Structure 1
């Protein structure tokens, strides 16, 4: 995986994560503002309804105005707040943010508007309810205390009950506060509880409803749904993108199967399937080339086979009409030569086909390049009489003679070049070996007529022949140099042609890496 592709995916994941976080924060704040408004109104509603039912709450609960901002408004004073007035007209308890706290409004029975101001809603609401409950319990008949407690609890949405055992007593700090103020607020979990001491000395416990929880299960479910939805959308878009690219590859594969060998996948750099598209295009090009080579081979082989087969047929006819043993012997000798030519042609075709269609499995092993070069030169000297074949290897190259290669095929490549050079040379062929730590190079030069520069690539094409001195009259089938190039290809190198500065003829060069990775398989 490329670093560019990794960074691109990583950036997209960061962008999705940031988008999810921003969306969650916006939803959390927006929905909680509505939930908080609703909770404030629901939490304060029992107290506000109770106060609205009292004829003169400011007088009856004389501590309310000073401690909790209890006040009375006329409906005319709400002309600047039509929404508030409308909601109050429907009998709703309304909560409005005011600075650091909330203001609560409710319409009283006489038509006036009763208001309450709480800076910290839950703690101050707890204190207000505690004072109101204690006042009513202190003024109640002792025989009706339980009935009054039950009525207050139902009306004010709190739980009220006497403290019946010492095990229910809170810690010492709460008891100390109780002695100073007559009530003490403490918490058990998230809920607030108030311990009240009545005028008769009885202890009563009041438990409040749970405070507002911004992380309530509805919010958690919503956030989980949002996160899951965004991730699902991102996954869907990603898979859709990949699926679209794979469908393009599939479509091109179908076109190739129908015979459109030139069809290719449009490769987009940096995408998830770009490497697949590149490999697929490489495979398609290889298949197209193999099909083209196959067609050329079929055409060329059929052409190459005609001449020796025709000569053999002619020789057989001559034997049938031969009048002397000498004539028959001559024809049999010619037929034997034609059969030998067919055998060599078939061997060349099979070798070229194996190399062109994927090549053999090369088992690279260490061998001496210089020893192979000397062996080839010695073999060619014996069969190329009249041609001076020289092998040049300096001491520096001898030091790096051992290389990773397939000796049989390297031998075949050098042999084809030396034999080809000796066939067209006037009198001299030179084989130069230049080896270093990283590269093996062998140059085969001759003093023949050379090859025009415009034909330097053509000579490596299968069954290719030139129109100059290198014609079929000199022998060969036009496969030798093609085999050489494929051998070098499977060794990770290349074969190329130039002009010999020393001898003036052609110079064929083989270059390939001296070492391959340990796990390399060609």
Structure 2
């Protein structure tokens, strides 16, 4: 995967994570603010409604003004806005936050508004509710206490039960506080409980509604759904970018299928399909090159075949008019040579075609390069006795003679170079091996006229010949050096031509890595 794309993907994923965190924080905070306010109002409603319906609550519950700043005023005296007054009019409870804490309000049937002020709403409201229940329970006869408890529990929205077993008793510290004040709060913010001690010594437990839970299941499910939605949108955007890039590749493939072989994909940088685009372009270039090679081969083959076929046709016609055995034999020998030339040409064409269209199945294995060079020199010396062919192999190269090669095709490449050098050499050809730990190099040099510098690259093209002669004396079909270059390509190396500093003619070089 491209480094640039990895960085961009990391930045995008990081941005998505930050976005999700911000959304979680913002929406969670806003949602919990609304939920917390609604919970406070819902928690305060039973006690405020009880006090609002009670006659003279300030006198009956004498502790309210001292502990909770109880007041009963008209709405106009409280500085409420229109929405708050409207809510009170419809019987809703208000909880207003200020610097002193929370102020809970509820409207009475007479149009006045009763209010209580709490420093810690849950704890103070639990205490106020317990004091109210304690006052009423102390006023109720023992025989009617169960009914009074049920009535108070329903009206105040709490659980209220007597403690009848030792296992229901709280800790000794709570019992001690209850003995001193007649009530004791315990349990914490998640579930506030109050132990009540009545005047006759009866112990009762008041259970408040559960405390506020910021991370309740509905909130978690909502936030999880929001995160999934953001991820889906992000994945959709990433997929759209990927789809756009793939469509570009697809459109180029359609253009190539329609014959536009020059169509290429713009790779771009930091792109997920940049490697695909590069591979696609490489494939398109290979296809274009193979098509051009095929066209060139068809044109050249038709031209190369025309000469020997014409000579064979002429020889057949001459056979019909031959008057003696010597003339007949001469024509038969010519036809035989032409057939051999056709066979060699076809072999060259098939070899070149196999190498160009993906190459043979190379089975690279360790082999001695110097042994192949010596073998080629011996074979070519027999074929070209009038040329002196020498193998120059330094002693240090013998230590690195073993290389990963395909012996048959490497033999063919060296043979083509040596045969080509013998064809143009005056007297001498040298085959020099320069082998080291990493690379192998073979230089084939001759003392012939050499290759003009402007033609150094041209000589490796298929069917390319620097002279226009097509006689048997000059030989060659313009495929030998093309075959050499392709063999070296499949060995992971390259071939090139230059000028021989020792002999003054051409120098053809083969270079490839010693180990694949």
Q: Which bracket does the TM-score occupy, shorter chain normalised? A: over 0.9
The match for 1:193 is 193
In the other structure, the counterpart of 2:75 is: 75
Indicate the SS of the match to 1:434. strand
Residue 50 of structure 1 corresponds to which residue in structure 2?
A: 50
| Number of the residue aligned with 1:21 | 21
* 1:90 has 2:90 as partner: yes
Displacement of 1:338 after TM fit?
Answer: 0.2
Alignment partner of 1:474: what SS?
coil
Q: Deviations over 1:235-267 (max 9, x none)?
A: 222222222222222222222222222222221
Within 1, Cα distance between the matches of 2:92 and 2:430? 110
Q: For structure 1, which segment, 324-333 or 232-241, has the greater mean C-alpha deviation from structure 2 after superposition?
A: 232-241
- Whole-Å separation in 2 of the counterparts to 1:362 and 1:299: 29
Alpha-carbon separation, structure 1, partners of 2:384 and 2:358 = 33
CA distance in 2, matches of 1:225, 1:450: 78
TM-aligned CA deviation for residue 453 of structure 1:
1.4
* Structure 1 SS opposite 2:214: coil
| CA distance in 2: counterparts of 1:66 and 1:471, whole angstroms | 129
Q: Give unpaired runs (5+ residues) of structure 2.
A: none
- C-alpha distance in 1 between matches for 2:293 and 2:377: 32
Corresponding residue of 1:363: 363
Instruction: Name 1:519's counterpart in structure 2.
Output: none
> Match of 1:304?
304
**1:265-286 Cα deviation digits (max 9, x unpaired):** 2212222222112111111111
Partner of 2:62: 62
TM-score by length of 1: 0.94
**Cα 1:392–1:144 shift into 2, 3 Å:** same
Is residue 2:158 matched to residue 1:161?
no
Q: How does 1:209-248 map to 2 (within 5 A)?
A: 209-248=209-248
Supply the distance in 1 between the matched residues of 2:27 and 2:471 (Cα, whole angstroms).
Answer: 84
For residues 444-503 of structure 1, give each alpha carbon's deviation from its aligned partner in whole angstroms, at most 9, with x where no partner exists: 111211222111111111011224789986110000000000000000000011112222
CA contact (8 A) 1:424 1:470 kept: no
Residues of 1 paired with 2:176 and 2:502: CA distance? Answer: 115
Look up the match of 2:41. 41
1:337 corresponding residue in structure 2: 337
1:278 — aligned with what?
278
1:451 is paired with a residue of what secondary structure? coil
SS in 1 for 2:437: coil
Other structure's SS at 1:193 match: strand
User: Partners in 2 of 1:501 and 1:471 — Cα distance?
Assistant: 31
Match of 2:125 in 1: 125
Deviates more, 1:180-189 or 1:272-281: 180-189
1:352 paired to 2:357: no
Whether the 8 Å CA contact 2:2–2:271 is kept in 1: the answer is no
Contact kept in structure 1, 2:370 and 2:401, CA below 8 Å: yes
The alpha-carbon deviation at position 4 of structure 1 amounts to 4.2
Name the CA distance, whole Å, in 2 between partners of 1:99 and 1:164.
43
Q: How does 1:388-467 map to 2 (within 5 A)?
A: 388-467=388-467
CA distance in 2, matches of 1:77, 1:397: 110
Cα offset, 1:116, TM superposition: 1.3
TM-score, L = length of structure 2: 0.96
What SS class does the counterpart of residue 239 from structure 1 fall into? helix
* 8 A contact 1:190–1:211 mirrored in 2: yes
| CA deviation profile, 1:386-426 (whole Å, cap 9, x unmatched) | 21222211111111111111111111111111111111112
**Conservation of the 8 A alpha-carbon contact between 1:79 and 1:85:** no
Distance 2:381 2:399 in 1: 26
My pick for the range that moved more, 487-496 or 269-278, is 269-278
Report how far residue 85 of structure 1 moved. Answer: 3.0
Greater shift after overlay, 505-514 or 180-189? 180-189
Counterpart position of 2:322: 322
Alpha-carbon distance change, 469 to 449 in structure 1, aligned in 2, over 3 angstroms: farther
| Superposition deviation, residue 67 in structure 1 | 1.5
**Alignment root-mean-square deviation, CA:** 1.9
Give the count of matched residue pairs: 516
2:377 equivalent in structure 1: 377
Aligned-pair CA distance for 1:379:
1.3
Partner of 1:289: 289
Q: 2:71 and 2:80 mapped to 1: Cα distance?
A: 18
